[in-house]
Amino acid sequence: MNKGYAYDPKKYIDPFLPRFKTIISRKNSHTFIDRYAGDEQFMGQTVYYKNKKPVFGMNYYGAIVDKKFKPAEVYAFLKKALKAKSPYRGLDGFREGFFLYRNHYKERFAMIEGEERIYYKKNLIYILKYHAGKISVTRSIKQWSRNLLPSKSINIKF
């Protein structure tokens, strides 16, 4: 799709999750939605849709563990690493200057668990853990939506 976090997409404030940003990318019958919050410590969720049905999802949590590095500097390198071809997150072993990106994952029972790290001169500066897998929706949207709460019953105050 060549959109998403690594490609400097437009970001929106999520109306349902205060302080979360949302990235939405579409191409033909494919839609990618990523919602996240935080900067030096962050968490998020990515869902990939095909023909308006969710088919793959991922949750992640991470942090910049070396406070000498500014988030913009770390994330600029991360974006380059994520553009590399890999089934999940970025290609393991991406290097630029003194920065090194590592991504290790294992896949069991159609579930993926992984961890990505960024090192600077062999010192760990960033870590992210993720888990993901296929999503199967067998009911129609009409059947599924019957189980949703009516919007007037949700009363959240911050």
Report pLDDT for 85.
Answer: 64
Residue 143 within a domain? no
Residue 22 within a domain? yes
**pLDDT tens profile 67-81:** 999 999 999 999 888
Range of the domain at 65: 5-136
Report pLDDT for 158.
Answer: 39
Give the number of other CB atoms < 10 A from CB of residue 75: 19
Residue 144 within a domain? no
Residue 106 within a domain? yes
Give the number of other CB atoms < 10 A from CB of residue 93: 11
Residue 152 within a domain? no
User: How distant is the alpha carbon of residue 127 from its chain centre?
Assistant: 13
**pLDDT tens profile 101-125:** 999 989 888 899 999 999 999 999 9
Confidence (pTM):
0.76
Residue 148 within a domain? no
User: How many domains does the chain fold into?
Assistant: 1
Residue 142 within a domain? no
